[in-house]
């Protein structure tokens, strides 16, 4: 990248799972990496001071309260982090003339469509997490037509989710290697996505001159969590057995979303290479991080 193309980018949530891969794949922008200890997004005055002091041309917001079950018990924190903080951030970015790139989720859909959701499908959040993330993405979209909202699904990455303390791939491998039983739901479909692939495509999207609005970015295709667990074991060369469960056998308050696979239709219209299929991404991840 030419020096003149290099932008002043503020990365919020830079020590999270996706944030870590955004730092690693940065193609040469001048990056300020934020962590919660620098400024809590719910502390409005401190957060505003922090953002202003970074003088960003672009803000990437990976911050989220994404313990999905806990959102049901703690709706105020979910709304504060996932809806109201992005609302303030969008207003601040408009004031600073900075473009905002915000991450959202497949959980803005109710999962009842029966085929992958593309960007033209109307959101219909059915649980607190999805509702709070939908509010956030709406405020970001209203902040400026140049802002980007990137919806993604089922992330796993080398750093592991900060909120969830690891990732599903690692959990499956650890349990299989220690001989613990594996019971995984087989009636919920999603699009497993490696954060390294998502991070690379995020930089490309940010640099695409005509990109604006909502994009779905997930590795291609989809599967159930049970199928994903089986693929993790096969790819790692382990023979442990996995018991398929119905989601009705899985405890939890949150309303389950049967099928939230994502299709990246608008991404394709930019003429950029598609994200690879989820099995290829999983193989590449396990070559890099054998577990
Ligand atoms: N994980 C998934 O499967 C998934 C699926 C679809 C969409 N997404 C979306 O993708 C994005 C990235 O997810 P991820 O897996 O990378 O999450 P993650 O690893 O949990 O990272 C989230 C980051 O947000 C920070 N954060 C949380 N509350 C904060 C607050 N009040 N003030 C400041 N920072 C705060 C955390 O900081 P600390 O570490 O210091 O707490 C953490 O670094 C999120 O927008 C999420 O909604 C995730």
Ligand 1, atom 36, residue with closest C-alpha:
13
At residue 193, the pLDDT reads 98
- What mean pLDDT comes out for the span 162-191? 93
Percent of the chain whose pLDDT exceeds 70: 99
pLDDT higher than threshold 60 for residue 231: yes
Q: Taking a C-beta distance cutoff of 8 angstroms, is the pair 205, 138 a contact? A: no
pLDDT higher than threshold 60 for residue 29: yes
Instruction: Give me ligand 1 centre to Cα 99, in Å.
Output: 20
From the CB of residue 82, how many other CB atoms can be counted at a distance below 10 Å?
A: 27
Distance (Å) of CA 35 to CA 32, 52, 128: 10, 16, 25
Structure-token match 């690692």, residue found: 170
Instruction: Give me ligand 1 centre to Cα 17, in Å.
Output: 7
At residue 257, the pLDDT reads 96
Sign of CA dihedral 98, 210, 7, 149: positive
Q: Taking a C-beta distance cutoff of 8 angstroms, is the pair 67, 163 a contact? A: yes
Q: What is the CATH number of domain 3-157+193-219+262-273?
A: 3.40.50.720
C-alpha R_g of the chain: 19
Pocket of ligand 1 from Cβ distances under 6 Å: 13, 15-19, 35-36, 40-42, 62-66, 81, 103, 105-106, 133, 152-155, 161-163
pLDDT higher than threshold 90 for residue 161: no
At residue 4, the pLDDT reads 53
Residue 256 token pair: 């389950």
pLDDT higher than threshold 70 for residue 2: no
Give CA–CA dist 156/166, Å, rounded.
8
At residue 1, the pLDDT reads 58
β 189-190/223-224 pair status: antiparallel
From the CB of residue 250, how many other CB atoms can be counted at a distance below 10 Å?
A: 14
Query: 50, 117, 129, 285: which one is catalytic?
Result: 129
- Of 80, 163, 198, 228, which is best to mutate to test ligand 1, by the most ligand atoms within 8 angstroms of its C-beta? 163
At residue 251, the pLDDT reads 80
Write out pLDDT tens, residues 233-268. 999 999 999 999 999 988 888 999 999 999 999 998
Distance (Å) of CA 39 to CA 43, 111, 250: 7, 35, 36
Percent of the chain whose pLDDT exceeds 90: 91
At residue 15, the pLDDT reads 96
At residue 5, the pLDDT reads 85
Quick one: angle between helices 85-96 and 44-54, nearest 10?
Answer: 30
Residues forming beta bridges with residue 244, ordered by sequence position:
184
Residue 152 token pair: 């993604």
Coil, helix or strand at residue 270: coil
pLDDT higher than threshold 90 for residue 291: no
Active-site residue, 129 included: yes
Give CA–CA dist 173/237, Å, rounded.
10
At residue 250, the pLDDT reads 83
Q: Where are the alpha helices (DSSP H) in the chain?
A: 17-24, 44-54, 68-73, 75-79, 85-96, 128-143, 168-177, 195-207, 225-236, 265-269, 278-288
pLDDT higher than threshold 90 for residue 290: no
Which long-range contacts link 110-113 to residues 24+ away (Cβ below 8 Å)? Answer: 110/257, 111/188, 111/189, 111/256, 111/257, 111/258, 111/259, 111/260, 112/258, 112/259, 113/259
Plot region of 110 (φ>0 → left; ψ -120 to 50 → alpha; else → beta)? alpha
* pTM (predicted TM-score): 0.97
pLDDT higher than threshold 90 for residue 285: yes
Instruction: Give me ligand 1 centre to Cα 238, in Å.
Output: 30
- What mean pLDDT comes out for the span 169-192? 96
Q: What is the mean pLDDT of the chain?
A: 95
pLDDT band at residue 289 under the 50/70/90 scheme: confident
Residue 8 token pair: 């002043």
pLDDT band at residue 164 under the 50/70/90 scheme: confident
Stronger pLDDT, 232 or 162, i.e. the higher one: 232
Write out pLDDT tens, residues 198-212. 999 999 999 998 999
Domain segments of the chain: what residues? 3-157+193-219+262-273
- What mean pLDDT comes out for the span 268-287? 95
Q: Taking a C-beta distance cutoff of 8 angstroms, is the pair 131, 64 a contact? A: no
Instruction: Give me ligand 1 centre to Cα 2, in Å.
Output: 31
Q: Taking a C-beta distance cutoff of 8 angstroms, is the pair 163, 106 a contact? A: no
Write out pLDDT tens, residues 58-92. 999 999 999 999 999 999 999 999 999 999 999 99
Write out pLDDT tens, residues 99-114. 999 999 999 999 999 9
- What mean pLDDT comes out for the span 129-147? 98
From the CB of residue 168, how many other CB atoms can be counted at a distance below 10 Å?
A: 19
């Amino acid at each position: 990248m030419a020096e003149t193309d290099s932008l002043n980018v503020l990365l919020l949530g830079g020590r999270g799972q996706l944030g870590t891969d955004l730092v690693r794949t940065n193609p040469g922008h001048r990056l300020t990496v934020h962590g919660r200890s620098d400024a809590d997004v719910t502390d409005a005055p401190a957060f505003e001071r922090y953002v202003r002091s970074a003088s960003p041309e672009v803000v990437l917001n990976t911050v989220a309260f994404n313990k999905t079950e806990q959102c049901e018990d703690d709706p105020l924190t979910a709304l504060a982090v996932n809806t109201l903080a992005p609302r303030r951030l969008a207003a601040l970015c408009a004031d600073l003339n900075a473009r905002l790139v915000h991450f959202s989720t497949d959980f803005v859909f109710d999962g009842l469509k029966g085929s992958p959701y593309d960007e033209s499908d109307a959101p219909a959040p059915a649980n607190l997490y999805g509702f709070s993330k939908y509010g956030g993405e709406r405020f970001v979209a209203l902040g400026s037509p140049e802002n980007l909202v990137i919806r993604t699904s089922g992330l796993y990455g080398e750093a592991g989710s900060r909120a969830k303390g690891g990732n599903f791939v690692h959990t499956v491998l650890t349990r299989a290697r220690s001989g613990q039983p594996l019971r995984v739901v087989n009636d919920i479909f999603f699009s497993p996505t490696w954060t390294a692939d998502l991070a690379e495509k995020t930089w490309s999207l940010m640099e695409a001159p005509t990109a604006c609005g909502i994009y779905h970015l997930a590795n291609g295709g989809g599967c159930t969590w049970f199928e994903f667990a089986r693929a993790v074991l096969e790819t790692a060369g382990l023979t442990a057995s996995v018991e398929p469960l119905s989601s009705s056998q899985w405890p939890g308050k949150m309303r389950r979303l049967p099928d939230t696979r994502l299709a990246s239709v608008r991404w394709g219209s930019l003429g950029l290479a598609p994200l690879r299929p989820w099995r290829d991404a999983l193989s590449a991840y396990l070559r890099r991080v054998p577990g």
